[in-house]
Structure 1
Amino acid sequence: MSNPIYLAVDLPDLARATALVQQVRGHIGGVKLGLEFFCAHGHHGVHEIAKLGLPIFLDLKLHDIPNTVAAAMQAIHVLEPAIVTIHAAGGRAMMEDAKAAAGAHTRVVAVTMLTSLDDTDIARIGYSGTAHDNVLRLADLAHQAGLDGIVCSGQEVGAVRQQWRDGFFVVPGVRPASAVLGDQKRAVTPRQARDAGASVLVIGRPIARAENPDQAARDIMATL
């Protein structure tokens, strides 16, 4: 992949979302469309963004019983996404069924621990061990289930890469050194994530909310 940057586009206004992608399309490798965008615009919105010619990453974080997740995966075949997320916490059977139901050219990756959670948050939820411990455990489960890779923070991707050499690793919560962290608690810089083994860097606000999004994307790419 020549450009690992996927721009996170979660704008509720389709015209603004399309204009943003059009503005930065020459300096990103793909577009990540999340729940806010998909709930607002559905299949139509995805088709409109896809017209701009970039790979589409549907960050839907599917998490339900195996049959329901498989049916949802089949329902998005027509969108031909390059990447789709499911939750590793759904279990091995759910992950296996999701992968089996996915399109031939769609990478299915499992979300491990959200980058908005730190060790204190994880303990309150009821998980034992650190974020790092849980990411490694869930990554192993996803590997066993036959998925293409996982989603994890840049703080864990290096360790996961060591145990899953040919995995596909999506790192969200990526922030340039000068950027505000916002609700991200386990963030790293784009360069750090890439050096640690990230396949895809999901970057949203540092580009989307920049005064000049095109220049912001250029500047981030220059650090890689």
Structure 2
Amino acid sequence: MNQQPIIALDFPNEQEVMAFLNRFQGEALSVKIGMELFYQNGFHLLDKIRTMGHQIFLDLKLHDIPNTVQMAMKGLAQFDVQMVNVHAAGGSVMMQAAREGLEQGAQGSQATKLIAVTQLTSTNPIIGVKEQQLAVSLADSALHYAQLTKASGLDGVVCSALESKQIELACGKDFLKVTPGIRMLANPTDDQKRIATPKIARMNGATHIVVGRPITKALDPVKAYQDILLNWEEGK
């Protein structure tokens, strides 16, 4: 998947998605399709968006027993998407099963990258201690999950930009660090807790950024995207 910012298409229906994408005058984008859009619109939208020339990160965060995840990933492998994910909290056996399912479904093809979620960027230290009962910091938890993900044979992780440098040092520059929670300085934080600008994310070792509302809710989404792209490029 190329390294341009990934736009989170968090819309409820196909009509809003098409209206948004048509603003970009045929430009090839990288987009994320998550639960809100996928569960309400199904697989046909993946084909339609791919036909338009866009790359897709299918963000379903699979987390279940190993056999279920393996069979689900085998089914997802038949669709032309560039990245899929699971939850690292499912454990190494589940992650290995996901990899096996993806390879089985794609008949050995490695075209689709498989990554794992470490800690959601909406999670803050209070949630980590009181609700997850973490005995370590969020940063240490994310690093542990990243190392477990790499040992399980996956291509990278979803993490915040606050952890990406530490993960890069531990897992290498080629290990994908996909960072949500991206905001320009003028943007509201919304429900994100661990955030960074595109430039800071890249300087911290992020290989990809995911940006939703700062683009999709902007009065001029194309300009918002271009501003974020420019800020991202400045972080090289």
TM range (shorter): over 0.9
**d(CA) in 1 for partners of 2:101 and 2:180?**
25
TM-score, reference length from structure 1: 0.95
Secondary structure of 2:190's partner? coil
Instruction: Indicate if the aligned counterparts of 1:65 and 1:94 stay in contact, CA closer than 8 A.
Output: yes
Structure 2 residue 222 is matched with structure 1 residue 194 = no
For 1:20-72, what per-residue CA distance to the aligned partner results, in whole angstroms no more than 9, with x for missing partners?
A: 12323766740100000110011012222222111110000000001100111
> Which of 106, 112, 115 lines up with 1:106 in the alignment?
112
Q: How many residues are aligned here? A: 224
> Which of 167, 176, 179 lines up with 2:187 in the alignment?
179
**How far has the Cα of 1:91 moved from its partner?**
0.3
Structure 2 residue 33 is matched with structure 1 residue 33 = yes
Secondary structure of 2:43's partner? helix
Structure 1 residue aligned with 2:4: 4
Unpaired segments of 5 or more residues in structure 1?
none
Unpaired segments of 5 or more residues in structure 2?
none
Sequence identity percentage: 38
**How far has the Cα of 1:19 moved from its partner?**
2.1
How does 1:52-71 map onto structure 2 within 5 Å?
52-71=52-71
Instruction: Indicate if the aligned counterparts of 2:28 and 2:53 stay in contact, CA closer than 8 A.
Output: no
**How far has the Cα of 1:177 moved from its partner?**
1.2
For 1:85-112, what per-residue CA distance to the aligned partner results, in whole angstroms no more than 9, with x for missing partners?
A: 1000000000001012214211000000
Instruction: Indicate if the aligned counterparts of 2:83 and 2:115 stay in contact, CA closer than 8 A.
Output: yes
Secondary structure of 2:78's partner? helix
CA RMSD of aligned residues (A): 1.5
**d(CA) in 2 for partners of 1:80 and 1:69?**
19
Amino acid at match of 1:207: I
